């Protein structure tokens, strides 16, 4: 574009490898990781430890209990992470923590730990946007250069593209996040929260045969999911619904099983997500898709996205549960990138925020 | 008298007629979006003169049609895909008919095959507003308005930029008065053509349109167009102001006041909301 | 003879031949004959049905060549997809012309009446066969004069078209006069026929 100044990448050339500790606790996962940026520009994951707060079936996690969980496990997980990495706190260049978005109480308890370590060992502190963490870790692991990013988790559903120092949100949910939609439905049909409700929905869906009609709500590049949740919940109270998945007798053929509902929910919701991603790809002219966030490790979603990308002569990049699901290493990665551009968070500003949009972050480390 | 008019065998019977139409040699691809491919073709080629009999003296004009094919999406479950495609073809056709009945300039509908995702529309012979207004012609165009001369692209239309923006505003007012929201207003989705009663602006691509009486939806519709103007045409503010002026006139003082106030709000907050993690 | 060629349809349904008849004298007998043919059994019935195997359309309600073409096209399309709402492709043309889904009403309004003097006669047939003597067959049953289709403009009853399509209070035609109004009506009417299969 003429007349516009092309911003340069402000990442400094390293004279030595850098080390960062990342602390994540915006939802029910407490994650700690250590990353090292090598001289050749690559990154090495030295450790990536996670402890998840799992609630009984039918229950979600409450902010207060989740914060308690994080406080209780923080030191164990940090020690574990440092031990695995074989690194002492003294060797670290910076401490990175999740500033937001997320649940207030869990965010605060982890930020408190980060501040304490920072003061104890006199290490600079970096507050990281959780979504940026997902994107940067996904890019690092998969090697995707300039992908359209589909960020799908319990709290977020966004289609993102990078443009001029900013991850711009092209499309997003108009109401609830896709992970939230799946998790809440898992509670309705009493699926286990171990290892995660989303994983159990995915397994259940594999046995589903009947596609029931659910509302399909895309609006341009946005989606709406609450209506679908209402509809699929209603079907769980339908007279054709069999909780045990078995017909009552040989005559009982018109039935809906939990597997059918999981299957239908996934097929409908994922089709919507792939559709808005494709629209963004067509809009920007990109051929790469990167899926990040907890729902991103769903293999059916990856498969559907792969078919779409292939039809456009493109490619889909996805990571497995180690990096898709909330983790500390991604916070370390995004934090260290910012640190190497000269960004740190002074103690007085090391707050948390429940609302923190992806497009509010100035991305100085990309050109 | 003994020769046949059509080909001896006809098209293969296992293919649906709409798909055969796409394979005809006269069918030319025009563009491809995420959801649909657009072609220019003929529904009914002229009869050979020998067969046309006495009518051959004044052969009827054969005009091209625009075919919009919402092709199958392999990633979607087949049942879902078929139902969705059908609903979208139907939705677009209904919106167009509502526009026609409300006096909005849109292409007329010439064929619908919802089963195959096919919509056949009147071919609009002209250029997009994007191509005609300053700055819009930078990208590659198959059909540039001015080949290489420095001629004003508007000359063939006997019209100036002011009149175009005024015509746009008038069409949008009619559209919103009929409670139709376009959903994807850009200067590429408006065509300028020479009609019987002078040059006219025709709104196209109702793929994302919906019916709404809400002021919010109409304001967002205008906001999306404002952003499109700003990103495509340099110094677009006075041009878009003309669009709004004419829109306001068409809508009527009272209604316009309400929409304008909401448009200001939408501008302030943007289209997006803030969010919770 | 005038016709529409649709090369994308299977050969047996790829040609629609038609003619505009004026000064028709035997509309009443013709109607009786069509009704009688449907009830007749055996080889005689077969023969009689073949003789009147056309779509007989009241020309007063047709607004343009494109209007007619669209109705024929959509009717044949329905035939190829096994989704005829009426019994034959010829009656389906009448069904598509009518803006509602009421078949009886479609046949009554768009078919011929005892007093019709202007009618459009259509036969859907095979383009791969040598052009049949469709015109002669039409003349065998209709007593009237075949005129160039362009004479339709003297036939169309715009008032009736507006009434049947409920256009009298619509914004699109309210402020228009003469030629402008007729063009607007023709576009609406043609579009209505084209989208009938997805009408709400």
Domain at B188, CATH number = 1.10.510.10
Number of domains in chain B: 2
Residues pairing with B201 in the sheet: B192
Report all structural domains of chain C as residue ranges with CATH numbers, in order of start: 2-199 (3.30.2380.10)
Question: Is the per-residue pLDDT at A95 higher than 90?
Answer: yes
Q: Is residue B133 located within the same domain as residue B262?
A: yes
Phi, psi of C98 (to 5 degrees): -80, 135
Q: Is residue B133 located within the same domain as residue B103?
A: no
Lowest mean pLDDT among A14-18, A313-317, B1-5, B90-94: B1-5
pLDDT-based confidence at residue A285 (cuts at 50, 70, 90): confident
Two tokens at A199?
A: 């994983």
The string of DSSP letters for A236-247 reads TTSTTB-TTS--
The string of DSSP letters for C76-143 reads HHHHHTT--SSSSHHHHHHHHHSSSS-HHHHHHHHS--TT---EEEEEEE-TTSPP--HHHHHHHH--
Average of per-residue pLDDT across B89-109: 97
pLDDT-based confidence at residue A293 (cuts at 50, 70, 90): very high
Q: Is residue B169 located within the same domain as residue B264?
A: yes
Q: What is the pLDDT of residue A334?
A: 97
Q: Is residue B193 located within the same domain as residue B99?
A: no
Q: Report the alpha-carbon distance of residue A276 to residue A173 in Å, rounded.
A: 11
DSSP 8-class letter at B121: E
Peptide bond into A101 cis (omega under 30): yes
Two tokens at A333?
A: 């990665």
Two tokens at B76?
A: 């979607």
Residues pairing with C120 in the sheet: C20, C57
R_g over Cα of chain A: 21
Cβ B3–C5 below 8 Å, yes or no? no
Phi, psi of C93 (to 5 degrees): -60, -45
Instruction: Find, in chain C, the residue whose alpha carbon is nearest to that of B7.
Output: C128
Domain encompassing residue B86: 17-45+62-122
Q: Residue B39: which CATH number?
A: 3.30.200.20
Q: What is the pLDDT of residue B195?
A: 83
pLDDT-based confidence at residue B4 (cuts at 50, 70, 90): low
Lowest mean pLDDT among A279-283, A312-316, C83-87: A279-283
Cβ A278–B34 below 8 Å, yes or no? yes
Tell me, yes or no, whether B209 lies in a domain.
yes
Q: Is residue B248 located within the same domain as residue B160?
A: yes
Q: Is some CB atom of chain B closer than 8 A to the CB atom of C187? A: yes
Q: Is some CB atom of chain B closer than 8 A to the CB atom of C66? A: yes
Sign of CA dihedral B192, B194, B199, B203: negative
Cβ C188–B97 below 8 Å, yes or no? yes
Q: Is residue B111 located within the same domain as residue B233?
A: no
> What proportion of chain B, given as a percentage, has pLDDT over 90?
63
* Chain C residues touching B115 at Cβ < 8 A: 81
Average of per-residue pLDDT across C65-73: 97
Q: Is residue B97 located within the same domain as residue B196?
A: no
A–B interface: beta-carbon pairs under 8 A: 67
Tell me, yes or no, whether B143 lies in a domain.
no
Nearest to A307 among B74, B83, B274 (CB): B74
Nearest to B277 among A156, A213, A282 (CB): A156
Q: What's the whole-model pTM score?
A: 0.87
Tell me, yes or no, whether B131 lies in a domain.
yes
- Give the β-pairing of A94-100 and A125-129: parallel
Nearest to B75 among A211, A308, A354 (CB): A308
Q: Is residue B133 located within the same domain as residue B234?
A: yes
* Mean pLDDT (chain A, rounded): 93
Cβ B274–A100 below 8 Å, yes or no? no
- Coarse DSSP helix, strand, coil percentages of chain B, rounded to the nearest 5 percent: 45, 15, 40
Q: Report the alpha-carbon distance of residue A83 to residue A78 in Å, rounded.
A: 8
Cβ B75–A305 below 8 Å, yes or no? yes
Average of per-residue pLDDT across A17-36: 96
Q: What is the pLDDT of residue B26?
A: 87
Q: What is the pLDDT of residue B57?
A: 43
A18 is in an annotated binding site: no
pLDDT-based confidence at residue A17 (cuts at 50, 70, 90): very high
Average of per-residue pLDDT across B210-219: 94
Average of per-residue pLDDT across A96-112: 96
* Mean pLDDT (chain C, rounded): 93
Q: What is the pLDDT of residue B59?
A: 54
Two tokens at B216?
A: 């919010």
Cβ B18–C8 below 8 Å, yes or no? yes
Q: Report the alpha-carbon distance of residue B131 to residue C64 in Å, rounded.
A: 33
**What is chain C's length?**
200
Tell me, yes or no, whether B144 lies in a domain.
no
Q: What is the dihedral of CA A311, A315, A319, A320, to 10 degrees?
A: 40
B23: Cα separation from own chain's centroid: 23
Report all structural domains of chain A as residue ranges with CATH numbers, in order of start: 18-138+324-349 (3.30.420.40), 145-321 (3.30.420.40)
Q: Is residue B185 located within the same domain as residue B259?
A: yes
For residue A269, the SS3 value is helix
Q: Report the alpha-carbon distance of residue C148 to residue B45 in Å, rounded.
A: 19
Q: Which residue has the tokens 């402020």?
A: C175
> Catalytic residue among B125, B160, B179, B184, which?
B184
Q: Is residue B222 located within the same domain as residue B252?
A: yes
Average of per-residue pLDDT across B240-252: 97
CB C57 within 8 A of CB C110: yes
Q: Is residue B40 located within the same domain as residue B173?
A: no
Q: What is the pLDDT of residue B56?
A: 42
Lowest mean pLDDT among A247-256, B149-158, C87-96: B149-158
Q: Is some CB atom of chain C closer than 8 A to the CB atom of B103? A: yes
Q: What is the pLDDT of residue B277?
A: 38
Q: What is the pLDDT of residue A335?
A: 97
> Active-site residue B160, yes or no?
no
CB B97 within 8 A of CB B109: yes
Tell me, yes or no, whether B156 lies in a domain.
yes
Q: What is the pLDDT of residue B61?
A: 65
Chains that touch A (3 or more CB pairs under 8 A): B
Q: Is residue B118 located within the same domain as residue B162?
A: no
Q: What is the pLDDT of residue B49?
A: 57
Average of per-residue pLDDT across A290-314: 95
Phi, psi of A170 (to 5 degrees): -85, -40
């Amino acid at each position: 574009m003429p007349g516009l100044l092309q911003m340069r990448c402000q990442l400094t050339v390293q004279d030595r490898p850098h080390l960062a500790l990342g602390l994540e606790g915006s939802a029910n996962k407490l994650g700690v990781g250590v990353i090292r940026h090598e001289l050749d520009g690559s990154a090495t994951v030295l450790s990536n430890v996670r402890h998840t707060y799992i609630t009984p079936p039918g229950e979600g996690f409450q902010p207060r209990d989740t914060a308690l969980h994080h406080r209780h496990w923080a030191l164990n997980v940090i020690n574990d992470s440092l031990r695995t990495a074989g690194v002492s706190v003294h060797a670290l260049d910076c401490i990175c923590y999740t500033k937001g978005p997320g649940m207030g109480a869990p965010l605060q308890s982890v930020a408190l730990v980060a501040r304490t370590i920072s003061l104890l060992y006199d290490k600079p502190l970096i507050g990281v946007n959780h979504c940026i963490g997902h994107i940067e870790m996904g890019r690092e692991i998969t090697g995707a250069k300039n992908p359209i990013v589909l960020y799908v988790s319990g709290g977020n559903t966004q289609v993102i593209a990078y443009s001029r120092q900013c991850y711009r949100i092209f499309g997003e949910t108009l109401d609830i996040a896709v992970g939230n939609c799946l998790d809440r439905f898992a509670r309705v049909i009493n699926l286990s929260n171990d290892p995660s409700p989303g994983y159990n929905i995915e397994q259940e869906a594999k046995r589903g045969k009947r596609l029931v009609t659910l509302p399909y709500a895309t609006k341009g590049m946005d989606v709406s999911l609450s209506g679908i949740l209402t509809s699929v919940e209603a079907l769980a109270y339908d007279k054709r619904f069999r909780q045990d998945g078995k017909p009552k007798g040989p005559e009982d053929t018109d039935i809906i099983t939990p597997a059918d509902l999981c299957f239908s929910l996934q097929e409908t919701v994922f089709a919507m997500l792939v559709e808005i991603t494709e629209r963004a790809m067509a809009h920007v002219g990109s051929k790469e898709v990167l899926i990040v966030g907890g729902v991103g490790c769903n293999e059916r979603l990856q498969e559907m996205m792969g078919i779409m990308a292939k039809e456009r002569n493109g490619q889909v990049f996805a990571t497995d549960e180690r990096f898709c699901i909330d983790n500390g290493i991604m916070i370390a990665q995004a934090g260290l990138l910012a640190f190497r551009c000269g960004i740190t968070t002074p103690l007085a500003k090391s707050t948390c925020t429940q609302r923190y949009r992806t497009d509010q972050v100035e991305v100085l480390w990309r050109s | 008298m003994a020769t046949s008019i059509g080909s001896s065998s006809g098209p293969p019977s296992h293919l649906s007629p709409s798909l055969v139409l796409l394979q005809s040699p006269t069918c030319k691809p025009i563009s491809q979006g995420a959801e649909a491919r657009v072609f220019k073709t003929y529904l009914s080629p002229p009869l050979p003169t020998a067969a046309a009999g006495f009518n051959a003296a004044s052969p009827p004009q054969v005009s091209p049609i625009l075919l919009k094919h919402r092709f199958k999406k392999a990633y979607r479950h087949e049942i879902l895909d078929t139902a969705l495609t059908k609903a979208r073809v139907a939705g677009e056709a209904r919106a167009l008919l509502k526009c026609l009945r409300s006096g909005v300039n849109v292409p007329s509908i010439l064929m619908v095959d919802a089963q195959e995702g096919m919509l056949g529309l009147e071919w609009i012979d002209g250029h997009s507003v994007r191509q005609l207004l300053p700055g819009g012609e930078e990208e590659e165009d198959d059909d540039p308005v001015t080949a290489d001369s420095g001629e004003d692209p508007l000359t063939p239309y006997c019209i100036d930029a002011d009149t175009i923006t005024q015509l746009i505003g008038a069409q949008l007012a009619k559209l919103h008065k009929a409670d139709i929201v376009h959903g994807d207003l850009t200067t590429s989705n408006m065509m300028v053509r020479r009609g019987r009663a002078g040059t006219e602006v025709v709104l196209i691509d109702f793929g994302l349109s919906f019916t709404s009486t809400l002021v919010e939806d109409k304001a967002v519709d205008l906001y999306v167009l404002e952003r499109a103007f700003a990103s495509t045409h340099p110094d677009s503010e006075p041009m878009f102001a003309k669009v709004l002026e004419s829109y306001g006139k068409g809508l009527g003082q009272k209604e316009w006041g309400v929409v304008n106030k909401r448009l200001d709000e939408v501008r302030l907050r943007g289209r997006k909301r803030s969010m919770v993690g | 003879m005038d016709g529409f060629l649709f090369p994308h349809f299977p050969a047996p349904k790829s040609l629609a031949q038609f003619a505009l008849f004026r000064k028709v004298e035997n509309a009443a007998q013709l109607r009786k004959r069509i009704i009688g043919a449907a009830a007749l059994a055996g080889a005689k019935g077969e023969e009689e049905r073949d003789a009147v195997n056309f779509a007989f359309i009241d020309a007063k309600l047709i607004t343009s060549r494109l209007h007619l073409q669209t109705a024929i096209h959509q009717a044949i399309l329905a035939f190829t997809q096994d989704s005829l709402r009426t019994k034959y492709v010829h009656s389906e043309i009448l069904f598509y012309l009518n803006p509602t889904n009421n078949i009886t009403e479609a046949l009554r309004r768009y078919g011929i009446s005892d007093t019709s003097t202007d009618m459009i006669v259509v036969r859907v047939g095979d383009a791969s066969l040598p052009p049949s003597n469709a015109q002669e067959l039409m003349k065998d049953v209709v007593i009237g004069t075949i005129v160039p289709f362009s004479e339709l403009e003297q036939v169309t009853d715009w008032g009736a078209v507006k009434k049947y399509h409920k256009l009298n209070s619509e914004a699109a035609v309210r402020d228009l006069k003469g030629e402008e109004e007729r063009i607007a009506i023709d576009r609406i009417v043609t579009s209505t026929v084209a989208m009938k299969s997805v009408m709400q």
